[in-house]
């Protein structure tokens, strides 16, 4: 019989309503054997007592139900975000608070690349940029050509739905005034009227560039180093189970995933979702491919999810909104996948028995998804399907009630309350709709299974910060957006553990600390249930335990 290890802790938050807290947990074969007091452990016979967590708090390993592994590899490129950001090595990169500061960083990097003798055709790639913070000023080729008019430059926006390129990249991509692809912006007036501005919105337009430089800027290369960097970030944030919610799952991608997760020293369970949006893959072939991959599942790698996409980004003004549309009068957004194509493909994946996660940001997109799924479920009922609307930022109470009746889950992008809450209030939605942004309270009131997420690298990986957003709903300017939509700390902790596990069909294995489940723990220096809710984001993470293996976070 395998040996038993018993961990003692200051407190164990189990997330099991039948036994909410304990002081000891027994682990055997990577699973939880018993939870309770020391006397409860002794009933199982001999064990080794491990007291390294005696002064710490254990809770279930945190589950990030919507993120991307490129959070690890993006740091090979230049960061241009507004907010300070910590990289996988713990270094904090200062945010850039003006368009001039962004251009200055591009000039600095372009000059360094030239001084290092880098080939003139090697692109300068940057990420994290968002012009919405700069009072509505948009970046154009005029800005970017100041850094270089000869070296191609590609900037991915923070939301992942837009990019900017310089004139050199436009030439390489053969994007001219005659290009009619939706999402290629052009100057409306002035000496360059009719010429491309360099801003490209959504996959069809961005593909014109990506086809020339590979996946850089939209889907960062899947590399072993990048996946390992992601694991370091996950450990620092207490995450033991994480998604990669857009992945082509080609053979090279799968090889990297299987190689890295096959290493016993790798400390996070990965669930990659097959990229099935924008008509990039035929639905029947995609369904067969994902179904076949499930035979290769291990503890640390789980195939079986499908990711679809309907609209774009609210702050990028490419989301689809119902009447009265965008608050600043911008035209309605882009259908990344045509609604009719979405419904046809969704039905194929649904009938194949796969779990589908759909990106919907604007409320029109959410309503279109709900309508389509309702028609499909009428034709092809499937108990416990757990299809999930991802982001769902503008879903209102009536839509949540419809979701509950259909068995749909919601994974809401609560980090928007902090990162773009003021912009949504002032520019994209206006006060009324901004107050129902990421309406966690309404979702729970309607009985919709709830998770919340970071969408890293759109915002930094960190479920406790995401929980803080949902609990406090405060913006950088001190606004409280929709006080009645606040949820309690216990509800938020459930959303980043059992709630997220439910949407991934893993709640029978992870999300709570109870007999039979994986021995996955988030190890904390602080007790999130004893802290002031306003300080929840500051709870310190010591490390994690994954299936019984202990991983200490590298200190920043």
Please check whether residues 202 and 241 belong to one and the same domain: no
- Angle of helix 363-379 relative to helix 397-406, nearest 10 degrees? 20
Closest CA to 220 of 65, 117, 341, 74: 74
Please check whether residues 225 and 207 belong to one and the same domain: no
pLDDT of residue 222: 86
Instruction: Give the residue from 213, 235, 264 where a domain finishes.
Output: 213
Please check whether residues 185 and 285 belong to one and the same domain: no
Q: How far is CA 404 from CA 39, 130, 280, 433, 450, in A?
A: 42, 34, 30, 21, 11
pLDDT of residue 162: 94
Closest CA to 451 of 495, 513, 502, 504: 495
Residue 2 resides in a domain: no
Please check whether residues 151 and 189 belong to one and the same domain: yes
Cα 32 from Cα 516, distance rounded (Å): 5
Tokens of 319: 């989301």
Over range 389-416, report the average pLDDT. 98
Q: How far is CA 176 from CA 9, 151, 181, 193, in A?
A: 63, 18, 11, 12
Please check whether residues 420 and 347 belong to one and the same domain: yes
Q: Which residue has the tokens 């007291």?
A: 51
Residue pair 87/75 in contact by the 8 Å Cβ criterion: yes
pLDDT of 282 > 70? The answer is no
In percent, the amount of the chain with pLDDT more than 90 equals 92
Which residues face 545 on adjacent strands?
521, 550
Residue 427 is given by DSSP the state I
Please check whether residues 205 and 251 belong to one and the same domain: no
Instruction: Give the residue from 167, 198, 213 where a domain finishes.
Output: 213
Please check whether residues 427 and 308 belong to one and the same domain: yes
What is the arrangement of strands in the sheet containing 62-64, beginning at the earlier edge strand? Answer: 62-64, 239-247, 269-275, 305-309, 355-360, 388-391, 409-412, 450-452
Over range 198-214, report the average pLDDT. 91
Return the CATH number at 90: 3.10.310.70
Q: Who contacts 546 (Cβ-Cβ below 8 Å, separation ≥6)?
A: 61, 240, 267, 268, 269, 300, 518, 520
In percent, the amount of the chain with pLDDT more than 70 equals 98
Q: How many domains does the chain have?
A: 2
Please check whether residues 289 and 422 belong to one and the same domain: yes
Residue 320 resides in a domain: yes
- Mean pLDDT computed over every residue of the chain: 95
Please check whether residues 362 and 250 belong to one and the same domain: yes
Tokens of 389: 């609307």
Cα 446 from Cα 279, distance rounded (Å): 33
Return the CATH number at 391: 3.20.20.140
pLDDT of residue 1: 81
The residue segments making up the domain with residue 372 are 63-69+220-505+512-549
pTM equals 0.94
Instruction: Give the residue from 163, 197, 213 where a domain finishes.
Output: 213
Tokens of 308: 């679809």
pLDDT tens-digit series, residues 307-341: 999 999 999 999 999 999 999 999 999 999 999 99
pLDDT of 217 > 50? The answer is no
Cα 495 from Cα 258, distance rounded (Å): 28
Please check whether residues 202 and 254 belong to one and the same domain: no
Lowest average pLDDT, out of 3-17, 83-97, 391-405, 529-543, goes to: 83-97
Please check whether residues 241 and 204 belong to one and the same domain: no
């Amino acid at each position: 019989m395998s040996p038993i290890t018993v961990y003692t802790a200051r407190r164990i938050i189990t997330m099991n309503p039948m036994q909410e807290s304990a002081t000891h947990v027994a682990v055997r074969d990577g699973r939880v054997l018993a939870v309770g007091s020391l006397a409860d452990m002794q009933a199982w016979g001999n064990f080794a007592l491990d007291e390294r967590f005696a002064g710490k708090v254990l809770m279930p390993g945190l589950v990030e139900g919507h993120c991307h592994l490129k959070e690890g590899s993006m740091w090979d490129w230049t960061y241009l975000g507004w907010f300070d950001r910590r990289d996988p090595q713990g270094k904090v990169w200062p945010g850039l608070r003006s368009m001039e500061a962004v251009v200055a960083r591009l000039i600095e990097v372009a000059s360094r690349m030239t001084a290092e003798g880098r080939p003139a055709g090697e692109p300068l790639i940057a990420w994290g940029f968002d012009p919405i913070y700069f009072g509505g000023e948009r970046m154009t080729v005029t800005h970017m050509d100041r850094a270089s008019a000869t070296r191609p430059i590609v900037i991915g926006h923070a939301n992942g739905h837009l990019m900017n390129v310089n004139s050199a990249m436009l030439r390489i991509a053969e994007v001219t005034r005659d290009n009619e692809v939706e999402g290629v912006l052009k100057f409306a007036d002035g000496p360059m009227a009719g010429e491309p501005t360099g801003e490209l919105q959504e996959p069809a337009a961005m593909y014109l560039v990506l086809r020339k430089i590979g996946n850089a800027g939209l889907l960062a290369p899947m590399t072993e180093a990048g996946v390992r960097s992601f694991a370091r970030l996950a450990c620092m944030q207490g995450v033991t189970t994480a998604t990669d919610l857009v992945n082509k799952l080609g053979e090279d991608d799968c090889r990297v995933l299987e190689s890295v997760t096959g290493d016993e020293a790798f400390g996070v369970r990965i669930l990659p979702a097959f990229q099935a949006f924008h008509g990039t893959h035929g639905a029947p072939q995609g369904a067969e491919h994902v179904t076949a991959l499930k035979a290769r599942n291990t503890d640390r790698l789980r195939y079986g999810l499908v990711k679809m996409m309907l609209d774009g980004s609210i702050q990028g003004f490419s989301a689809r909104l119902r009447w009265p549309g965008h608050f600043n009068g911008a035209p309605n957004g882009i259908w990344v996948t045509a609604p009719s194509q979405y419904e046809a493909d969704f039905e194929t994946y649904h009938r194949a028995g796969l779990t589908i996660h759909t990106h919907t940001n604007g409320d029109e997109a959410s309503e279109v998804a709900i309508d389509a799924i309702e028609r499909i479920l009428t034709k092809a009922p499937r108990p416990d399907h757990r299809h999930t609307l991802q982001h769902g930022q503008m879903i209102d109470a009536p839509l949540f009630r419809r979701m509950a009746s259909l068995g749909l889950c919601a994974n809401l992008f609560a980090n928007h309350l902090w990162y773009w809450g003021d912009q949504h209030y002032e520019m994209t939605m206006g006060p009324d709709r901004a107050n129902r942004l990421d309406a966690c309270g309404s979702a729970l009131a309607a009985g919709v299974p709830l998770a919340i997420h970071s969408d890293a690298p759109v915002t930094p990986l960190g479920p406790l910060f995401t929980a803080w957003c949902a609990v406090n709903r405060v913006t950088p300017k001190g606004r409280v957006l929709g006080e009645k939509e606040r949820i309690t700390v216990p509800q938020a902790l459930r959303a980043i553990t059992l709630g997220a596990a439910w949407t991934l069909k893993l709640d029978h294995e992870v999300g709570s600390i109870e007999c039979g489940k994986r021995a996955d723990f988030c190890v904390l220096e602080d007790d999130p249930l004893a802290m002031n809710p306003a300080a929840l984001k500051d709870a310190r993470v010591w490390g994690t335990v994954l299936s019984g293996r202990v991983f200490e976070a590298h200190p920043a």
